[in-house]
Amino acid sequence: MPAAPAFFANQLLVALPTLADPHFARSVTLICQHDADGAMGVVVNRSSDYTLGEILRQMEIEAADPALLEQRVLAGGPVHPERGFVLHDGGRGWDSTLVVADGLSVTTSRDILEAIARGEGPEHTLVALGCAGWGAGQLEQELAENSWLTAPAQPGILFDLPLDQRWQAAAGQIGVDLMRMAGHVGHA
């Protein structure tokens, strides 16, 4: 009997040094959903050209907190780059929320941004524009081709570490030092 397929929701995909795709080179992607039909995730270590203040102004949402207005928005991936994705902790339901794991969700509805602007949002948030997507079997193929490592999603990596430290820290969870890896792979 064949083994059941492995699905990687609530895992971090860590790009190996051999991954040359400019959208994903040296990236860390939280897999939010993965099943037989494909996968969806959000890159969590790439800054976009936008601040949260710019996004909120564009959406005509008032916010007064200067630190909030200066918060960088992430470049979450090449799919739907015009759409916002809010990764967050907390169990409160919003209009359009996908629960990734206990205490970790992704929300795409305006109500969460309004709550964040009022200071009533989740304690920890990451706002990203765009996401990453894979068709049926595509992610599994990329894993077989040694493009990615998988590592557990940890709140400290997602919400606390500076963006430039997330790539190495995610791999370090499973004992891999990416700086010591060659830029090519082979198969025995």
Both tokens assigned to 92: 């409160």
* Mean per-residue pLDDT pooled into runs of 10, the chain (188 residues): 67 93 95 95 97 96 92 97 94 86 94 95 96 96 93 95 96 90 52
Compute CA 20 distance to the chain's CA centroid, rounded to the nearest angstrom. 19
pLDDT at position 5 is: 56
Q: Which residue has the tokens 């969700």?
A: 105
Whole-angstrom Cα distance, residue 30 to residue 131? Answer: 10
- CA-wise closest residue to 101 among 8, 183, 15: 8
Domain boundaries, the chain: 11-180
3-class DSSP string for 168-180: HHHHHCCCCCHHH
Question: What class does CATH assign to 11-180?
Answer: alpha beta
Cβ atoms of residues 159 and 64 within 8 Å? no
Whole-angstrom Cα distance, residue 131 to residue 77? Answer: 4
Q: 43 — phi, psi (to 5°)?
A: -70, 130
Share of the chain above pLDDT 90, in %: 82
Put simply, whether the predicted model's pTM sits higher than 0.75 gets the answer yes
Structure confidence by residue, pLDDT tens digits, 24-55: 999 999 999 999 999 999 999 999 999 999 99
The helix (run of H) or strand (run of E) holding residue 125 is strand 125-135
